[in-house]
Structure 1
Amino acid sequence: MRYLTLLFLFLSIQHFSVAQSRKVAFKTDYGTIKVLLYDFTPQHRDLILNSIKDSIYQGALFNRIIENFVVQGGEHDIDIAKREAADPTGNKPRLAGEFDARAFHKMGALGQGRDDNPEKASFLNQIYFVVGKKVSEEDLQSLEAKKGRKFTKEQREEYLKNGGLPRLDGDYTVFGEIYEGMEVIMTISRFKTDKDDFPLSPVRFSVSVIE
């Protein structure tokens, strides 16, 4: 029975992976992180694919590292704010949020950063990986009461088993997940940082499409 259960889980994961069409690799000095992009968040999937073509994430930095929370990279919030403040047109380009129950803040999820805009629209050049922490049933019930929403069966099972950041669901767009190299992002998440969460030694990464 245990064998059949494990076989079912493996086949389910394989089916999910095949169902999604694009994969990318985040190459770092500490190893490679392979990510499956979700086809059910197509605008954010295409955003990072276009960013790769434009070399935006070539030699980029993981510039905000918070253990048990996230590893964030690309354009920093401070730099975005300065650039937009200096723009005489007041232009603040964003991508509308894409929210799907299958895309949630499990361990290893890939999300798009944003500021406090009420539309929950994403920055164009900032991503993060969920490191997260343990989640209890009480945590989920409290969030459901606070946010007026219910976690799906899949979400609940994943959070209770492996942890994550359920409080970010519905507020930040998740558009992919790590399928190989989780140990690399966990290693990076434990690097020493300054008071602003910037790593004391540069942590660079480059993104490429896996054909």
Structure 2
Amino acid sequence: MRKALLCLLFVFGTVQLWAAKPKDVFIKISTNKGDMILKLFNETPKHRDNFVKIIKAGTLEKTLFHRVIKGFMIQGGDPDSKNAKENQLLGMGDLGYTIPAEFNPGLIHKKGALAAARNNNPERASSASQFYIVEGKVYNDMQLNYMEQDKGVKISEEHKAIYKTIGGTPFLDGEYTVFGETLRGLDVLDAISSVKVDKNNRPVENISMKVSLLKKKEIRKLLKNKI
């Protein structure tokens, strides 16, 4: 009887632990250049939860990728970009609050990384809505070694290998919070980064977005296909 009770407690405890584990969150960003599927990191819970909140609230609906720099990144999420006039300067809009920085040495600015934009505040707190997706470029050993010396940091061999193959923006590591990654749609990222822009790096042709949370059925399909 006691053995059976202990087994039952073990099973119950295991179920409780499983249930308490944060579920992976997948999102879709739809644009006129195609769709991107991204995963939000559980290692950055404040950013993950805030992004889920503003997606559900429709905050990002019809906002623009208002700042695009080829070989660097595409930035969007400015609430002022909804229905923005032609040539209107964007990038200053906010939601009246910030998200505390959540730096994680394992989450880097590789190509496809999703990171939070911010102003020059000393705490490096993130914008509540503005974000960017890294395009970056491929680096060589000499460039990475110089970057280590310039910033006074050590880049792991694992991360160097990523920056030498996939590419990214390693100089932003530890400066801006990375809170997700692109699983599908890097070609869409490249397409957006290649559009014609004005002197303020705003695309001449508006690139608006629709951001949605993937449903359980869609997530199961994605996991089955082993993205």
Both structures adopt the same fold (TM-score exceeding 0.5): yes
Bigger mean CA deviation after superposition, 67-76 or 193-202: 67-76
Q: Following TM superposition, by how much is the alpha carbon of 1:20 offset from its aligned partner in structure 2, in angstroms?
A: 6.8
Assess, with a 3 A threshold, how the Cα gap between structure 1 residues 80 and 165 changes in structure 2: closer, same or farther. Answer: closer
Match of 1:25 in 2: 28
Structure 1 position 154 matched with structure 2 position 154: no
Q: Following TM superposition, by how much is the alpha carbon of 1:119 offset from its aligned partner in structure 2, in angstroms?
A: 0.9
Bigger mean CA deviation after superposition, 142-151 or 114-123: 142-151
Match of 1:164 in 2: 168
Q: Following TM superposition, by how much is the alpha carbon of 1:96 offset from its aligned partner in structure 2, in angstroms?
A: 1.0
Q: Following TM superposition, by how much is the alpha carbon of 1:82 offset from its aligned partner in structure 2, in angstroms?
A: 7.1
Task: Supply the distance in 1 between the matched residues of 2:187 and 2:199 (Cα, whole angstroms).
Answer: 25
Which one of the candidate residues 190, 195, 201 is aligned to 1:191?
A: 195
Note the alpha carbon deviations across 1:17-56, whole angstroms, 9 max, x for none.
xx97111000111211000111101111111100111111
TM-score of the superposed pair, with normalisation by structure 2: 0.77
Match of 1:100 in 2: 104
Assess, with a 3 A threshold, how the Cα gap between structure 1 residues 205 and 82 changes in structure 2: closer, same or farther. Answer: closer
TM-score of the superposed pair, with normalisation by structure 1: 0.83
SS at match of 2:147: helix
Structure 1 position 58 matched with structure 2 position 80: no
Structure 1: give runs of 5+ residues left out of the alignment: 1-18, 85-91
Task: Supply the distance in 1 between the matched residues of 2:203 and 2:29 (Cα, whole angstroms).
Answer: 18
SS at match of 2:174: coil
Within a 5 Å distance, the mapping from 1:54-203 to structure 2 comes to: 54-75=57-78, 81=92, 93-203=97-207
Assess, with a 3 A threshold, how the Cα gap between structure 1 residues 31 and 79 changes in structure 2: closer, same or farther. Answer: closer
Query: Which residue type is aligned with residue 174 of structure 2?
Result: G
Q: Following TM superposition, by how much is the alpha carbon of 1:81 offset from its aligned partner in structure 2, in angstroms?
A: 4.3
SS at match of 1:60: coil
Runs of 4+ with deviation above 2 angstroms? 76-84
Assess, with a 3 A threshold, how the Cα gap between structure 1 residues 68 and 54 changes in structure 2: closer, same or farther. Answer: same
The answer on whether the counterparts of 2:140 and 2:164 sit within 8 Å (CA) in structure 1 is yes
Task: Supply the distance in 1 between the matched residues of 2:39 and 2:156 (Cα, whole angstroms).
Answer: 21
Structure 1 position 208 matched with structure 2 position 212: yes
The answer on whether the counterparts of 1:193 and 1:199 sit within 8 Å (CA) in structure 2 is yes
Match of 1:88 in 2: none
Structure 1 position 39 matched with structure 2 position 42: yes
SS at match of 1:191: coil
Assess, with a 3 A threshold, how the Cα gap between structure 1 residues 96 and 83 changes in structure 2: closer, same or farther. Answer: closer
How many residues are paired up?
A: 186
Provide the identity percentage. 35
- Find the structure with the greater CA-based Rg: 2
Superposition RMSD in Å: 2.0
Structure 2: give runs of 5+ residues left out of the alignment: 1-21, 82-88, 216-227
SS at match of 1:139: helix
